[in-house]
Amino acid sequence: MLSVKELHVYYEAFTLSGISLEVPQGKIVTLIGANGAGKSTTLRAIVGLVRPRSGSIKLGGQEVAGRPTHWLIQQGITMVPEGRRIFPNLTVQENLEIGAYYRTDRAGIERDLAWVYSLFPRLQERRRQKGGTLSGGEQQMLAIGRALMSRPRLLALDEPSLGLAPLLVKEVFRVLREINDQGTTILLVEQNARAALQLADYGYVMETGQIVLEGTGRDLLGNERVRRAYLGE
Amino acid sequence: MTLETLVQQLMNGISLGSLYALIAIGYTMVYGILRLINFAHGDVFMVGAYTAFYLVSFFLLPWWAVVPLTLLAAALLGMFIDRVAYRPLRQEPRISALITAVGVSFFLETLGIVVLGARPKGFTEYIPGLFARVYDLAGIKIPGVAVWVPLLSLACLGLLLYIIYNTKVGMAMRAVATDIETVRLMGVNVDRIISYTFALGSALAAAGGIMWAFKFWQIQPLMGIYPGWKAFTAAVVGGIGNITGAMLGGFIIGLAEIMAVAFFPDFSGYRDAFVFAILIAFLLVKPTGILGESLKEKV
Ligand SMILES: Nc1ncnc2c1ncn2[C@@H]1O[C@H](COP(=O)(O)OP(=O)(O)OP(=O)(O)O)[C@@H](O)[C@H]1O
Ligand SMILES: [Mg+2]
């Protein structure tokens, strides 16, 4: 579904050098790595928030590198950005509605709204509240729900478990599983390497702007280097 | 001061204030989204007044046609200014767009002088009867403009609030004001939302321009400068970026200006200075304005 080849991004003090990765239809793929490895930069380049210097990004066979973000989203990619970024001055319900902004199928939007509320009942209770008044965990749920409202074919998430209590982390991973079971392809960036690799079909390990390892979730969980550097063993 | 003059002055202040409010919206909405003080906004107000003038005096159109056409023309002008002057600078440091805004303002003013002539144009004979007549309120004489200008302005402001708080585009405008990048992630074409923002603000300024002409009977190419600055002051006093604040600020400035003149007629020559003194005092005491949020939300 998504195929990234030889992606290069240059910042003053950082280079993303030749990232290649595949996210097959219906799968969960994870990208793990230490702080500053370039995970967010990779995601941001995929959704067009950062312009890659060179490289190819194909979505369903179509070259999309350099296209504007709003167009990419309309093609069915969505990203839950790092740090949630919910709209504090919009109500919970509006935050969800703006996720479906470019859609015109009213009935479908209503159905998805009900679906998101069933995934996160707590959001329904708070739907008239301003987004900014939610707790961190609730904001993360809202950010995921908002992304789902665009009916993405590919959902990218940038550290959805960051800063959440263990119970909520479990909850988020359970929801990701459920979303994937319903047919959404997932590209997950995580610091919580163990949970991510357990969930994912395939994983990539990033260090200082490069992919240094890849394999099935199971393989990486068993890999000596991964165990030492990312699983704390 | 007699009761009659007091009531008259109050009505006068409210109607002037409502015009400032109409103009202030455009400053505050654009600032809220782009952190840009659109100095050309006062000149859009002037273009609105002239557009109405020519439609009614040259094309002899009735007012029910003049008003929508004028608002439409101003909306298009606002969008055009954004498209050619500000959008190309969106990735550049904010000061570039600010300087460009000053340039666009000078451009419109000089173009106005060259094309329209520096001499004021009289509006008196075209003012609709409703605005020209005088009402008798329990023995107190109230000019029509003092009644209808605030009422129509409030109607415009109400419509604007409806758009901002009850439509999809309005929702996107509110979202853009806090986090442009994330709005892009929602599949929203942000440039289009910014365009609509300029359109709305400019249409309101044009509505203000038309009613300004009704109130002051004449128009000239530099007529946008002082009202523009005062409306900007109103936006700052209300808390720049905040729409309700801008409305409130408009009424405060209008009333303060008229009351200063009413109570200190000897100093009426200083009325403009007085308004800007309010601005400076506000910036010193409460830089975020009456309804202004702390700026940290809007990084
Ligand atoms: N807009 C930018 N301009 C300049 N440098 C940047 C920019 N964005 C990120 N960087 C730098 O690029 C490097 C990679 O950042 P990135 O956010 O991709 O890392 P990350 O893997 O997501 O890290 P984390 O796990 O902490 O979120 C960092 O050193 C960062 O300082
Ligand atoms: Mg990151």
Q: Bigger pLDDT: B261 or B294? A: B261
Could you tell me the two tokens for A170?
A: 């479990």
Tell me what pLDDT residue B253 has: 94
Residues with Cβ within 8 Å of residue A108, at least 6 apart in sequence: A151
How far, in Å, is the centroid of ligand 1 from the Cα of A36? 5
- Long-range CB pairs of A161-168 (<8 Å, 24+ gap) are A161/A190, A161/A191, A161/A192, A161/A195, A162/A82, A162/A83, A162/A191, A163/A136, A164/A136, A164/A137, A164/A140, A165/A137, A168/A137, A168/A140
Q: How many helices (H) and strands (E) does chain B have?
A: 12, 4
d(CA B115, CA B50): 11
The answer to whether A40 contacts chain B (CB < 8 Å) is no
The predicted-structure confidence for A78-137, as pLDDT tens digits, reads as follows 999 999 999 999 999 999 999 999 999 999 999 999 999 998 999 999 999 999 999 988
Could you tell me the two tokens for B26?
A: 């455009």
**Please, which residues bridge with residue B32 across strands?**
none
Could you tell me the two tokens for B180?
A: 């442009």
Residue B215 has pLDDT above 90, yes or no: yes
Residues with Cβ within 8 Å of residue B35, at least 6 apart in sequence: B94, B298
d(CA B94, CA B101): 11
Could you tell me the two tokens for B50?
A: 């002239």
A101 vs B178, B186, B297: nearest CB? B186
Q: Which ligand is nearest to the CA of A207?
A: 1
Tell me what pLDDT residue A129 has: 95
> What CATH number does domain B3-285 carry, 3.30.530, 1.10.3470, 1.20.140, 1.20.1410?
1.10.3470
**Contact of A166 with A192, CB cutoff 8 Å:** no
Tell me what pLDDT residue B249 has: 94
3-state secondary structure of A20: strand
**A68: exposed, middle or buried (Cβ count in 10 Å: 0-12, 13-18, 19+):** middle
The ipTM of this complex is: 0.92
Measured in whole angstroms, the distance separating CA B288 from the mean position of its chain's CA atoms is 20
Could you tell me the two tokens for A18?
A: 């030749």
**Contact of A230 with A31, CB cutoff 8 Å:** no
Residue B294 has pLDDT above 70, yes or no: no
Of all atoms in ligand 1, which is nearest to the CA of residue A39? 21
Tell me what pLDDT residue A167 has: 86
d(CA A196, CA A42): 17
Could you tell me the two tokens for A4?
A: 């990234």
Read off the pLDDT band of B278 (50, 70, 90). Answer: confident
Q: Bigger pLDDT: B269 or A146? A: A146
d(CA B77, CA B24): 17
Opening angle at CA B201, ends B93 and A72, nearest 5 = 60
Could you tell me the two tokens for B131?
A: 């605005």
Q: Name the residue among B202, B218, B220 with its Cα closest to residue B42.
A: B202
The predicted-structure confidence for B99-114, as pLDDT tens digits, reads as follows 999 999 999 999 999 9
Tell me what pLDDT residue B268 has: 81
Measure Cα distances from A56 to A71, A211, B175 in Å. 17, 16, 31
The predicted-structure confidence for B217-233, as pLDDT tens digits, reads as follows 999 999 999 999 999 99
Tell me what pLDDT residue B297 has: 41
B187 vs A87, A97, A101: nearest CB? A101
With the C-alpha atoms ordered B263, B269, B271, B274, is the resulting torsion angle positive or negative?
negative
Tell me what pLDDT residue B296 has: 42
Helices within A62-200 (DSSP H only): 69-74, 92-99, 106-119, 121-125, 136-148, 166-181, 193-199
Read off the pLDDT band of B299 (50, 70, 90). Answer: very low
- The overall average pLDDT reported for chain B is 92
Q: Name the residue among B202, B116, B119, B113 with its Cα closest to residue B156.
A: B202
Residue B148 has pLDDT above 80, yes or no: yes
Q: Do B185 and A78 touch (CB under 8 A)?
A: yes
Q: Name the residue among B48, B1, B59, B54 with its Cα closest to residue B22.
A: B48
d(CA A1, CA B105): 50
Read off the pLDDT band of A168 (50, 70, 90). Answer: confident
> Is beta strand B218-219 parallel, antiparallel or unpaired with respect to B121-122?
antiparallel
d(CA B39, CA B27): 8
Measured in whole angstroms, the distance separating CA B11 from the mean position of its chain's CA atoms is 19
Locate the domains of chain B by residue range: 3-285
Q: Whose CA is nearest to atom 28 of ligand 1?
A: A36
Average pLDDT over residues A171-178: 91
The answer to whether B3 contacts chain A (CB < 8 Å) is no
Tell me what pLDDT residue B264 has: 86
The predicted-structure confidence for A11-68, as pLDDT tens digits, reads as follows 988 989 899 999 999 999 999 998 999 999 999 999 999 999 999 999 988 999 989 9
Tell me what pLDDT residue A162 has: 86
Average pLDDT over residues B148-169: 95
Q: Do B178 and A89 touch (CB under 8 A)?
A: yes
The answer to whether B244 contacts chain A (CB < 8 Å) is no
H or E element that contains A100: none
Question: What residue ranges line ligand 1, CB within 6 angstroms?
Answer: A 11-12, 14, 33, 35-41, 82, 191
Residue B262 has pLDDT above 90, yes or no: no
Of all atoms in ligand 1, which is nearest to the CA of residue A37? 21
DSSP 8-state symbol, A79? E
B185 vs A47, A97, A132: nearest CB? A47
Q: Name the residue among A69, A54, A66 with its Cα closest to residue A15.
A: A54
Q: Whose CA is nearest to atom 27 of ligand 1?
A: A35
Q: For tokens 């009704």, what's the residue? A: B214
d(CA A8, CA B126): 65
Residue B202 has pLDDT above 90, yes or no: yes
Q: Whose CA is nearest to atom 11 of ligand 1?
A: A14
**Contact of A207 with A24, CB cutoff 8 Å:** no
Interface-testing mutation among B164, B185, B189, with chain A (most A C-beta atoms within 10 A): B185
